Amino acid sequence: MVFKKIYNNMLQSKLFYKTTKETPREAEAISHKLLLRAGFIDQLMAGAYSFLPLGHRVIKKIENIIRRNMILSPVSGQEILMPALTPKENWLKTGRWNNFEALFKLKGQGDKDYALAATHEEVIVPLAKKIISSYKDLPLYLFQIQTKFRNEARAKSGLMRTREFIMKDLYSFHVSQEDLDNYYDKVSEVYFKIFKECGILTKGKNRFTFKTWASGGSFSKYSHEYQTITESGEDIIYICKKCGAAINKEIKSQMTACPEEKCGSTDFEEKKAVEVGNIFKLGTKYSLPFDLKFRSKDGKENPVIIGCYGIGLGRLMAAMVEVNNDDKGIIWPKEAAPFLVHLVQLENSGKVKKAAKEIYQNLQKNNIEVLYDDREDKSAGEKLTEADLIGIPYRVVVSERTLSKKSIELKKRDSGKINLIKENQLLKFLN
């Protein structure tokens, strides 16, 4: 709501962006090409991008979808914000100062060593220790939406693999494995909701995002990743044709049959995919080094059982574009589009300008987010091509022709369907 009040309108003549026809040479992934070409992002260097106004609006929408689902759902998280700058000692305690290859390390005053956090177990576990002492303090669910740093060997494919990226990381603290198991399944359900709202769960009849069995590391046999099918993905998954679960290639050799309860099928389809999120049972892996314990009902001290759950926002944004595009450009899902309406004033006669301006004001009054192409130095063709490239869900064209029919033209970006409607029908249609 606040978002709409602050950001509900924009004149395209003032918008900070520039579209290009050529695709940048280094860009291979379709999301990379389109996000650069349409002026959503700008590359500072390999693995680091600025979000321009269009891209920033999308990332904020995604952030709000995730935030709402983290708070107003069985996940019931409390939002916090932890520093990106972290002390070496904490990473030494968990053994990750030397074992986390992608950890960015730096020196500060007095030759002190720091790491830019690549993940936040080393911060949140000692933080939780300051507050958790009894079983009465548990369970506890904390999340943040914050910037991570990873010195990735290959930063490529635009937002899909960067060296600085925004992540939603949720951490859950429990008295028992059973309590963690139950919560893990709840988060899993909510993850599907998030990916559905972001338009990557399905498209038409086809499924695009799969909960995928993956390795669990040293403390738990398996974890789960949420993998979205795309040719630009770096992972390979095997989708069970019977139940729709998937298995990451890294563990497929240990599994001949589908591990889902009551499935056991051996019929799989191999696909390339990108990991947009994951959920992980850490158990006591981080509570032991930081001595995070709680006093149980019978007075015994036990280590706290922990789970962690991530989603990369930039990578999710890229996956949304990978799934939702055509040869003309991006097709944003309504929930995360930079604007709901792209109002195009096709010609510059006084009559057309006046009519377009009125619609612009009317949409704003009704709290509808609208980008108004008021530019007078662009041809009709250029404007329409650019509107398709940017991919806003509804395009409203005002022209001599539509006005002669006392109408406006409404085009749905996803279906391409065009209708002439009366202006007073527009609001009804959009609502």
* Residues binding Mg ion (CB under 5 A): 275
Q: Are strands 85-87 and 78-79 parallel, antiparallel or unpaired?
A: unpaired
CB of 278 to ligand ATP, least distance (A): 4
Smaller CB distance to Mg ion: residue 79 or 101? 101
Which of the choices Mg ion, ligand ATP, none does residue 312 contact, using the CB cut-off of 5 to 8 A by kind? ligand ATP
CB of 148 to ligand ATP, least distance (A): 7
Which of the choices ligand ATP, Mg ion, none does residue 162 contact, using the CB cut-off of 5 to 8 A by kind? ligand ATP
CB of 207 to ligand ATP, least distance (A): 19
Which of the choices ligand ATP, Mg ion, none does residue 314 contact, using the CB cut-off of 5 to 8 A by kind? ligand ATP
Side-chain-side CA neighbours of 241 within 13 Å: the count stands at 5
Phi, psi angles (nearest 5°) of residue 326: -140, -170
Closest C-alpha to 315, from 89, 98, 156: 156
Which of the choices Mg ion, ligand ATP, none does residue 277 contact, using the CB cut-off of 5 to 8 A by kind? ligand ATP
Which of the choices ligand ATP, Mg ion, none does residue 276 contact, using the CB cut-off of 5 to 8 A by kind? ligand ATP
DSSP 134: B
Smaller CB distance to ligand ATP: residue 43 or 364? 43
How far is 121 from 116, CA to CA, in rounded Å?
Answer: 13
DSSP codes of every residue in 297-350: TTS-EEEPEEEEEEEEHHHHHHHHHHHSEETTEE---GGG-S-SEEEEE-S-SH
Smaller CB distance to ligand ATP: residue 119 or 296? 119
Q: Do 174 and 139 form a contact (C-beta atoms < 8 A)? A: yes
Smaller CB distance to Mg ion: residue 275 or 373? 275
Q: Are strands 222-229 and 209-215 parallel, antiparallel or unpaired?
A: antiparallel
Smaller CB distance to ligand ATP: residue 175 or 276? 276
Dihedral (CA of 376, 382, 384, 387) sign: negative
CB of 403 to ligand ATP, least distance (A): 47
Residues forming the site for ligand ATP (CB under 6 A):
119, 150, 152, 161-162, 165, 167, 275-278, 310-312, 314-315
Closest C-alpha to 221, from 246, 254, 243, 188: 254
> In which residue are the tokens 């060593």 written?
113
CB of 277 to ligand ATP, least distance (A): 5
Smaller CB distance to ligand ATP: residue 278 or 324? 278
Residue nearest to ligand ATP (CB): 312
